[in-house]
């Protein structure tokens, strides 16, 4: 069953003077009250603008961080809402609470074609409650802000893997529609899982193998090559019998990695791990560091307990050659500690290869998206930059995404 689209909402019923509750993704990184990466705010703007232009009274719901069901000023949605206001050609008001007096009064006074952003929905513990009745009660209070003839649009792909009140339960209470951002993300991920054009290369990085287990499991028979970088590569190197010094290791995943290496060989999928590594004497911008072969990490000049903090130049070039030879590429997770220049080159080389490639390239949200923006790449350099790291991974794991399923109900 397919979801109703935003265009259907606007064309079929019209939204002028009608309240539309939009679940957006404004979960941006902050430095104090400054948004350090506004990618998700920019991605949320088109749907909100489309509704404003159609004359709707738009109420935006979003979360920021993990305030654990309590009001915590450092997780206020205000900086993200203020950035939305700066980018928009319409005014954005911000409620001082989620469903309290401020939200109710501001909603009641909304003019056609205007926007109200509610405070962080996770300030209310019912948003993330495991108890269905508690989430449903909160969803009813959110729906009540829309009066008699409200509608709901989910445009927060970064949250669709959560069974939360503003993502899942609300869809049962109001006529519900799939936002353009969610529709695009689902279409892209279907391309990766159902009929990718080969060769299909998957690049996985980040710190932990355990975060990517189900993705590796599901893609082993689908991808032609899995390129493994980041901290997770060291558990694979250990599984191959290499000494890895003080590098990040998930001891309990060594046997799993050995199993993947064996299965990949039988399935005709190549798992490519680094052949050289940038090894440092400590974690920090002022660390001593040198490039060593992957089987000689403990022979560093500063001692045997060095930390691998990036893939080496030989590995980066090898990864790039696979990417440039592919027709479809999915990348999730940096190749090293990209925030520190000395350990950013592996990630930069992979990003450059994706930018140069003629393949259909997908950058899977989270740290990967932040890395390409931090290194000055344009979003236009890639086929698609996902707004949802966790949601993208769960889709590629073959899981049902509650927020998407709720729109199809």
Residue ranges of the annotated binding site are 25-27, 40, 63-66, 122, 162, 212, 308, 339, 365-368
| Structure tokens that stand for 330 in this block | 């999915």
Which residue blocks in 112-179 are alpha helix, DSSP H? Answer: 132-144
Active site annotation includes 205: no
Euclidean distance between the first and final Cα of the chain, in Å? Answer: 8
Closest CA to 204 of 345, 346, 308: 346
| Residues forming beta bridges with residue 278, ordered by sequence position | 291, 310
**Is the Cα dihedral 14, 16, 17, 22 positive or negative?**
positive
Active site annotation includes 366: yes
Active site annotation includes 50: no
Active-site residue identified among 55, 69, 100, 390:
390
Task: Report d(CA 191, CA 342) in Å as an integer.
Answer: 35
Closest CA to 283 of 214, 352, 319, 336: 336
Q: Residues at the annotated binding site for substrate? A: 25-27, 40, 63-66, 122, 162
Q: Which residues contact 270 (CB under 8 A, 6 or more apart)?
A: 224, 225, 226, 264
**Burial, 331: exposed, middle or buried (Cβ in 10 Å; 0-12, 13-18, 19+)?**
buried
Backbone angles phi, psi at 243, to 5 degrees: -80, 135
Q: Residues at the annotated binding site for ATP? A: 212, 308, 339, 365-368
Active site annotation includes 333: no
Task: Report d(CA 106, CA 110) in Å as an integer.
Answer: 6
Active-site residue identified among 18, 23, 39, 40:
40
Active-site residue identified among 104, 140, 208, 263:
208
Task: Report d(CA 164, CA 129) in Å as an integer.
Answer: 7
Active-site residue identified among 366, 383, 388, 389:
366
Q: Residues at the annotated binding site for (2R)-3-phosphoglycerate? A: 40, 122, 162
Q: List the strands of the sheet with 151-154, edge to edge.
A: 92-94, 114-117, 57-61, 19-23, 151-154, 176-178
Q: What amino acid positions are annotated as catalytic residues? A: 40, 208, 366, 390
């Amino acid at each position: 069953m397919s979801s109703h689209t935003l265009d259907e909402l606007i064309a079929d019923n019209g939204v002028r003077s009608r309240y539309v509750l939009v679940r957006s993704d404004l979960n941006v990184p902050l430095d104090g009250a400054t948004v350090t990466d506004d990618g998700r705010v920019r991605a949320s703007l088109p749907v909100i603008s489309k509704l404003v232009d159609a004359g709707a009274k738009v109420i935006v719901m979003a979360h920021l961080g993990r305030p654990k069901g309590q009001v915590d000023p450092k997780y206020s949605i205000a900086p993200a809402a203020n950035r939305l206001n700066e980018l928009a050609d319409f005014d954005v008001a911000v409620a001082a609470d989620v469903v309290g007096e401020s939200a109710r009064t501001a909603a009641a006074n909304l003019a056609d074609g205007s926007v109200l952003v509610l405070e962080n929905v996770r300030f209310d513990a019912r948003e993330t409650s495991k108890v269905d009745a508690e989430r449903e009660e909160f969803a009813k209070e959110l729906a009540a802000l829309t009066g008699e003839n409200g509608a709901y649009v989910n445009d927060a792909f970064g949250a669709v893997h959560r069974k939360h009140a503003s993502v899942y339960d609300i869809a049962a209470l109001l006529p519900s529609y799939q936002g353009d951002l969610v529709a695009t993300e689902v279409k892209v991920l279907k391309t990766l899982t159902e009929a990718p054009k080969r060769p299909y290369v998957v690049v996985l990085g980040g710190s932990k193998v355990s975060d990517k287990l189900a993705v590796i499991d599901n893609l082993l028979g689908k991808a032609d090559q899995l390129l493994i970088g980041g901290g997770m590569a060291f558990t694979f190197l250990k599984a191959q019998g290499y000494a890895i010094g003080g590098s990040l290791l998930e001891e309990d995943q060594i046997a799993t990695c050995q199993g993947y290496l064996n299965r990949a060989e039988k399935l005709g999928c190549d798992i490519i791990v680094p052949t050289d590594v940038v090894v440092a004497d400590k974690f920090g911008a002022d660390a001593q560091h040198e490039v060593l072969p992957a089987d000689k990490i403990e022979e560093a000049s500063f001692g045997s307990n060095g930390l691998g903090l990036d893939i080496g130049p030989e590995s980066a070039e090898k990864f790039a050659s696979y990417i440039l030879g592919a027709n479809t590429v999915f990348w999730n997770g940096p190749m090293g500690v990209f925030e520190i220049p000395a350990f950013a080159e592996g990630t930069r080389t992979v990003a450059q290869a994706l930018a140069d490639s003629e393949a259909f390239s997908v950058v899977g949200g989270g740290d990967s998206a932040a890395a390409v923006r931090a290194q000055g790449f344009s979003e236009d350099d890639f086929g698609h930059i996902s707004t949802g790291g966790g949601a993208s991974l769960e889709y590629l794991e073959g899981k049902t995404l509650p927020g998407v399923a709720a729109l199809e109900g």
